[in-house]
Amino acid sequence: MTAFLDLPADTAFGLDNLPYGVFSTQDDPSHRVGVRIGEHVLDLAYLETHGLIAAPEAGRAPVFHGTLNAFMALGKPSWDAVRGRLQDLLSADGPDDLRGSETHREAAFTPLAEVAMHLPATIGDYTDFYSSRQHATNVGTMFRGPENALMPNWLHLPVGYHGRASSVVVSGTDIVRPKGQQKPEDAPPVFGPSKLLDIELELGFFVGPGNDLGDAISIDDARDQIFGFVLVNDWSARDIQKWEYVPLGPFLGKNFATSISPWVVPSAALDPFRVAGEAQDESEGNPEPLAYLQQSGNRSLDIALEVHLETEAMRNDGTAPEVVSRSNAKYLYWSPEQQLAHHTVNGCNARPGDLMASGTISGETEDSYGSFLELTWRGSKPLAMPSGESRKFLADGDRVVLTGVAERDGTRIGFGEVEGTVVPAR
């Protein structure tokens, strides 16, 4: 497909992508849904108001004014219909409704540089999983030794915990260094700013219609329940986490901030990038999941992920951010569909706009680990920066940028980026 707009040949935001986001402009501060096409944002609220686009299941109710929740709630038939209509409207050989009207074109398109991005949905609940086998193995090896790296349940179910939706923030939001209790090795607990502030490279997804309380989303229906995907940085205070997490798990070490990218890549855009993933059967010595978690077809997504670090000194010197990790979403052992099926199998109700994240994604090589905890192996192998500095964990002024791109056969699907700068504790 070719757009009527002038797009770079290698764009990651062409007609094959069309990610959704919520934006505003200086002239119009109201929040509305847009789609990114190249370096422009197409205003879906404008198209809806002027009868150029409609979500079939919505009837006459507007769904593109405000957040994406109303659109997410409609389900896959409406998502597919709107996506198809957008591809037609933006196509070089499509109808003249948009392409042929200078008035509509001038009103509906805004340069990306002129918009402010907001959280794409009102997030009612946020759940974070622990779905990368290499990450779980690395962390387990550090704290329990290689013989007991994986806990007995890990290969049988997607481990997760309920996070804090109120502290999920959009890319570009500063991260205030958290404070809490820390326990020195040979002294009583102390209180103060975290000294071991970390990142977690993750892939997240938004739930669509969801399920009623008491019902479950089956593994066969889970894919149609996933609206789209975002990049996630689940910031973590490792020293606070270490002291508090037994016996009930993450709390203050995790709930102070979770950053997400503003553009939600539709599930349909990622279908061509599905790959088999690690075998979940005895062929590789793994236990077969219970029936409700058995997923046919390709489970994993081939999405190249990177972590970029820029220190304050680098920023002041004009030095480009350093790539400190190159990973891939295909390293996840438990798929998004398995995560959702397990989350709801007990009758827990998922709702439109709920956010679920994969947990840290790490590959087998040291340069593919998705956290500083692993990259520096608990601080024993500091990262050397171009500025001559080194990093075990994050310092105030450090800026972290996560990026993601899926690419195959000349098609590129971009996620944009999720970034945050660490500022001193208050």
User: What confidence tens digit (pLDDT) does each residue in 300-346 have?
Assistant: 999 999 999 999 999 999 999 999 999 999 999 999 999 999 999 99
> CA–CA separation, 97 vs 359, rounded Å?
43
pTM for this structure? Answer: 0.97
Mean pLDDT of the chain: 97
pLDDT > 80? residue 1: no
> CA–CA separation, 138 vs 144, rounded Å?
10
> CA–CA separation, 57 vs 55, rounded Å?
6
Angle at 27 between CA 23 and CA 29, to 5 degrees: 45
CA-closest candidate to residue 123, choices 224, 43, 227: 227
52 C-beta neighbours (distance < 10 Å), count? 18
pLDDT digits (tens, 9 = 90+) for 11-55: 999 999 999 999 999 999 999 999 999 999 999 999 999 999 999
**Tell me, what DSSP letter sits at residue 132?**
B
CA-closest candidate to residue 37, choices 18, 53, 9: 18
Q: Percent of the chain at pLDDT above 70?
A: 100
Q: Which amino acid is at 89?
A: L
CA distances from 277 to 15, 139, 159, 333, 388 (A): 27, 21, 18, 7, 39
CA-closest candidate to residue 137, choices 411, 410, 333: 333
pLDDT digits (tens, 9 = 90+) for 73-118: 999 999 999 999 999 999 999 999 999 999 999 999 999 999 999 9
For residue 211, what pLDDT band results from cuts at 50, 70 and 90? very high
Q: What is the mean pLDDT of residues 224-243?
A: 98
Q: What is the mean pLDDT of residues 375-388?
A: 97
pLDDT digits (tens, 9 = 90+) for 52-82: 999 998 888 999 999 999 999 999 999 999 9
Domain ranges of the chain: 20-118, 126-423
Residue 424: exposure state from Cβ atoms within 10 A (0-12, 13-18, ≥19): exposed
SS3 string, 237-288, reads EHHHHHHHCCCCCCCCCCCCCEEECCCEEEHHHHHHHEECCCCCCHHHCCCC
Residue 59 has a pLDDT of 83
Residue 284 has a pLDDT of 80
- Secondary-structure breakdown of the chain: helix, strand, coil percentages, each rounded to the nearest 5: 25, 30, 45
CA distances from 280 to 204, 289, 356, 359 (A): 22, 7, 22, 19
pLDDT digits (tens, 9 = 90+) for 242-283: 999 999 999 999 999 999 999 999 999 999 999 999 889 888
The annotated binding site for Ca(2+) is made up of: 128, 200, 202, 234
The annotated binding site is made up of: 128, 130, 144, 200, 202, 234, 241, 245, 254, 258, 360
The CATH number for 126-423, chosen from 2.40.33.20, 3.90.850.10, 3.90.180.10, 3.40.50.10470, is 3.90.850.10
Q: Is the Cβ–Cβ distance between 333 and 360 less than 8 Å?
A: no
Catalytic (active-site) positions: 135
For residue 285, what pLDDT band results from cuts at 50, 70 and 90? confident
Q: Is the Cβ–Cβ distance between 378 and 289 less than 8 Å?
A: no
CATH class of this structure's domain 20-118: mainly beta
pLDDT > 80? residue 215: yes
Q: What is the mean pLDDT of residues 133-157?
A: 95
Residues 6 or more apart whose CB falls under 8 angstroms from that of 248 comprise none
The verdict on whether omega for the bond into residue 289 sits within 30 degrees of 0, i.e. cis, is no
Q: Which amino acid is at 405?
A: V
Q: Is the Cβ–Cβ distance between 119 and 169 less than 8 Å?
A: yes
